[in-house]
Chain A
Amino acid sequence: MAAEKSSRLLQAFKSRKILQFGLALSCVLLFAGIFGPSLLVDRGPNQISQSILAPPSADALFGTDELGRSVLTQIVYGVRTSLVVGLAAAATAMTLGVVMGAISGYFGGRVDTFVSRITETFQVMPTFVLAALVVAMAGTGMLKVIFIIAILAWPQSARVMRAQVMKMKSMEFVDALRCLGIAEHKILWREILPNAIPPVIPVGTLVIGQAILLEASLAFFGLTSPEVASWGRLLTSGQQYFYFAWWLTVFPGLAIVITVLTFNLVGDALNQAFNPRSGDA
Chain B
Amino acid sequence: MVENTSLRSEVAPILRLRDISKKYYTRDGGVFYALKEVSLDVMPGETLALVGESGSGKSTLARMALNLAKPDAGWVELAGHRTSEMSAQEMKPHRSKIQPVFQDSSATFNPRRTVRQILAQAMRSTSNPDDAEVEAKSIAILEQMSLRPAQQILKRFPHELSGGQRQRLNIARAICVNPSIIVADEPLSGADVSIRGKVLNLLRDIQEQAGVAYLFITHDIAVSHAFANRIAVMHEGKIVEYGEAREVVESPKHPYTKVLIESALLGRERLDALR
Contacts and interface: CB of A to CB of B under 8 A. Distances in A.
A–B direct touch, CB within 8 Å, in complex?
A: yes
Interface stretch (B49-57, B107-115, B134-142, B262-270): B107-115
B151 interface: no
In terms of DSSP, what is the predominant structure of the interface of chain A?
A: helix
Interface string B98-125: 1110100111111110000000011001
A120 interface: no
B204 interface: no
Nearest to B111: A1
B76 interface: no
A180 B159 contact: no
Contacts of A183: 88
Given A2-B157, A3-B157, A184-B88, A179 B109 contact: no
B125 A181 contact: yes
B99 A179 contact: yes
B63 to A, nearest CB: 8
B96 interface: yes
A66 interface: no
Interface stretch (A30-38, A90-98, A170-178, A218-226): A170-178
Contacts of B160: 3
Given A179-B66, A179-B95, A191 B110 contact: yes
B256 to A, nearest CB: 28
Contacts of B189: none
A181 B95 CA distance: 6
B177 interface: yes
B125 A173 contact: no
Nearest to B104: A172
A194 B113 CA distance: 11
B90 to A, nearest CB: 11
Nearest to B112: A2
Nearest to A192: B110
B12 interface: no
A264 to B, nearest CB: 29
A4 interface: yes
Nearest to B66: A179
Interface in A151-178: 171-173, 175-178
Nearest to A1: B111
A195 interface: yes
Q: Which of A2, A4, A178, A180 has the most CB of B within 10 A?
A: A180
Interface string A117-148: 00000000000000000000000000000000
B78 to A, nearest CB: 12
A180 B95 contact: yes
B108 to A, nearest CB: 5
B92 interface: yes
A173 B104 CA distance: 11
B235 interface: no
Given A173-B107, A176-B173, A194 B112 contact: yes
Contact of B68 (A4, A178, A194): A178
A191 B111 CA distance: 9
A185 to B, nearest CB: 11
Given A1-B111, A175-B100, A180 B177 contact: yes
A173 B174 CA distance: 12
Interface in B203-257: none
Interface string A54-72: 0000000000000000000
16 contacts: A1-B106, A1-B157, A1-B158, A4-B111, A172-B107, A173-B108, A175-B68, A176-B100, A176-B102, A177-B110, A178-B68, A179-B95, A180-B121, A181-B88, A182-B121, A183-B88
6 residue pairs, one from A and one from B, having the closest CB atoms: A1-B111, A181-B95, A171-B107, A180-B125, A172-B102, A181-B92
